[in-house]
Structure 1
Amino acid sequence: MAETRTCRLIRTSGTYHGKQGLDYAEAISKESVGSQGICMHLLTIPPGKRAKAHLHEDHETAIYMLKGKSAMWYGEKLELHMELEEGDFLYIPAGTPHLPYNPSQTEPCSALIARTDPNEQESVLLLPELEAEWENKNSPS
């Protein structure tokens, strides 16, 4: 029997803890609405917190900064850095290692995130070796 496809309204009522180490507001995904090509959710990073180093295999990511400022280390060795402000858009190509964080010690930051992977977490690949290397380079002496 074929599944009936129709528009679906999502009123976020909960969060899930992602492999990246942060909490995401439940929104659009294969799991929530049966989407086939996109996942979209809201991420709020608490003050001074960061994700684990990771990449999304074979899937692109688009981000819109809603509130506050965020920053990200990215590149093959997390050697590149950028900062995002409210109203900024960010594109992350498939397979690009990245480590986002909130540089503020007092204010949270929030972003709307969309990926071409309909699954909430399937394409997330953690990079613990790369994260350890990054921590060694960036720890206070």
Structure 2
Amino acid sequence: MTISERKVQAIRPEHEVMTQQRLPYFIGISGQTVGAQGLSMHIVVIPPGARAAPHQHIGYETGIYVLAGRVCTRWGERLENEVVSEAGDFLFVPPGVPHEAINLSETESARAVVARNDPAEQDKVEPYVVTAAAAPVGQAR
């Protein structure tokens, strides 16, 4: 692609799309929307009390910036570890680490910016079956 073929583009997501993680996303930057070659960036909304389906990302890193709410991210082979992030926090998820995100509020949605170093990251999301029961949220082992 030559410099004359490249252009700066603005994207305003107008509607949500359900992802493989079973969370609504507002699609922003991706290979499909702007021809990105190494980046995707979206807004995720976790409804009150909702959680992502356990999953892992194959071959790409994920950076998350929490805009609103409090989210518990459980991770590990049995989802035995957890970290709570809230508005103003960044979260890093390495490739291949099983995890799930849980909105800790029963009344308010959580919102975050999700950035990945893959322009078609949904193609590389794999469901993850937990091998043993994890501790309840807030009581990691």
Residue 122 (structure 2) pairs with residue 117 (structure 1) = no
SS of corresponding position for 1:58: coil
Percentage of pairs with the same residue: 40
Residue 49 (structure 2) pairs with residue 48 (structure 1) = yes
Cα displacement string for residues 19-67 of structure 1 (whole angstroms, at most 9, x for unaligned residues): 0001100210011111000110001100000000001101000000101
Paired position in structure 2 for 1:91:
92
* TM-score, structure 1 normalization: 0.89
Change beyond 3 A, Cα 1:39–1:111: same
The whole-number CA distance in structure 2 between the counterparts of 1:59 and 1:107 is 30
Amino acid at match of 1:18: T
Where structure 1 has 5 or more consecutive residues not aligned to the other structure, the ranges are none
How much is the aligned-residue C-alpha RMSD, in angstroms?
2.1
1:28-43 alignment runs, 5 A limit: 28-43=29-44
The number of residues matched between the two structures is 136
Q: Structure 1 segments of 4 or more deviating over 6 A?
A: none
Residue 83 (structure 2) pairs with residue 58 (structure 1) = no
Amino acid at match of 1:31: Q
The whole-number CA distance in structure 1 between the counterparts of 2:105 and 2:58 is 29
